[in-house]
Amino acid sequence: MATERLNRYISLAAGVSRRVADEMVRNGRVTVGGVPVLDPGALWDPANEEVRLDGRTLVPVREEKVYIMLYKPDNVVTTMKDREGRKTAPALIGEMSSRVFPVGRLDFHTTGLLLLTNDGEFAYRLTHPRFGVEKTYIAKLMSVPRPQELAVLRKGLPVDGKMTNPAQVQFLDKKSGKAWVMIRIAEGRHHQVRKMFDAIGHRVTKLRRTAIGPLELSGVEPGEWRYLTPKEVRDLSDYMDRRSEEVAGQGPPPEVPRHPRRTETPADRAKRRTVKDAIAQAARKKAVVGERAAREARDTERKKPRQPKPAWKKGPRIPEKYGKR
């Protein structure tokens, strides 16, 4: 029995966003088979049940699938809207007959390949970790990494308390103390590439995504976009099928090694208390010595001979004939 999520069906049939469709369901405006439904994610069978919105039957228009490659420039966010008024990636595409959305995200200052589509299943497969889709980046570094440092990235390292999967890394070039490195990862954590290079002591100054799986950034300049060819879509779909099988046979990344927590003994507590008391006593002693030195400095200043007033403080001089008799 074929099933479909209610909010997705309403989004297609009513021509609204998924969020608006969720609100319609929660507000009790939707019935399935004559029964009100309040769960936007509810599954139902389109072949046997009728969906109504405010009493009117909904029939979705099956829209044509759209796949777009965008060369995201710097200083652009990959959300549909931005509260701060910054330029968004969908705004670079402009108005289209079908609503498209970004697949995954690129950081504000990261440039390069970004896909947009109206195919939710395609976007899900590209972004879900179980499909293990690889993304390729070229990073410009502030300094030149040593081979043993790049080897750490190839083995995996802890980032935010969790080990990364092994990355494919290739040193490309160096000039004037800067370096360019290619890195390919199958994860998508927040700022992951930048944090991985930070962990080995090399700051990323520029980052560009050049490929998603077999799909390479080509035929567009920064800020430009184009439709994917049918062959590119097929190749990407076939690649995701292969990757899902490969990732299924791999285990999760190893956990970050943690030092066992030591149980504190009475002797340890006594020692810690002694050290704490000694530190407090030293601080009190330092405060007393400082106060005494300040007091002595004030007393010494008072004992100095009285200094004559400067001329501007004495006021006008009174002539002798107008003085006291």
Summarize the confidence of residues 70-94 as an average pLDDT: 91
Residue in 54, 107, 241, 277 annotated catalytic: 107
More confident residue, 90 or 306: 90
Mark whether 107 is an active-site residue. yes
* Banded model confidence at residue 173, pLDDT cuts 50, 70, 90: very high
The reported pLDDT for the residue numbered 97 is 67
The residues, any chain, with a CB within 8 Å of residue 322's CB and separated by 6 or more, are none
Cα 214 to Cα 199: distance, rounded to the nearest angstrom? 28
Contact (Cβ atoms closer than 8 angstroms) between residue 40 and residue 60: no
pTM (whole model) above 0.75: no
Tell me phi and psi for residue 299, to 5 degrees: -65, -40
The mean of the pLDDT values for the chain is 84
The reported pLDDT for the residue numbered 325 is 47
Domains of the chain: 4-57 (3.10.290.10), 69-131+213-251 (3.30.70.580), 134-210 (3.30.70.1560)
Per-residue pLDDT tens for 231-267?
Answer: 999 999 999 988 888 877 665 555 555 555 666 778 8
3 state DSSP class of 87: coil
Angle, alpha carbons 86-92-93 (nearest 5°)? 140
Query: Within a 10 A sphere around the Cβ of 100, how many other Cβ atoms?
Result: 20
Query: Among the listed ranges 18-32, 132-146, 201-215, which one has the minimum average pLDDT value?
Result: 18-32
Summarize the confidence of residues 181-205 as an average pLDDT: 93
Query: Among the listed ranges 80-84, 182-186, 246-250, which one has the minimum average pLDDT value?
Result: 246-250
Q: Taking 60 as the threshold, does the pLDDT of residue 318 lie above it?
A: no
Query: Among the listed ranges 3-7, 153-157, 297-301, which one has the minimum average pLDDT value?
Result: 297-301
Dihedral, CA of residue 313, residue 318, residue 324 and residue 325, to nearest 10: 160
Q: Taking 60 as the threshold, does the pLDDT of residue 320 lie above it?
A: no
Task: Tell me the sheet residues that pair with 301.
Answer: none
The reported pLDDT for the residue numbered 16 is 76
Cα 209 to Cα 137: distance, rounded to the nearest angstrom? 4
Residue found under tokens 């829209």: 63
Contact (Cβ atoms closer than 8 angstroms) between residue 243 and residue 133: yes
Cα 210 to Cα 111: distance, rounded to the nearest angstrom? 9
More confident residue, 217 or 258: 217
The reported pLDDT for the residue numbered 138 is 96
Per-residue pLDDT tens for 14-59?
Answer: 777 778 888 999 999 989 888 898 988 888 777 788 888 888 888 7
Tell me phi and psi for residue 73, to 5 degrees: -85, 180
The tokens of 63 are what?
């829209």
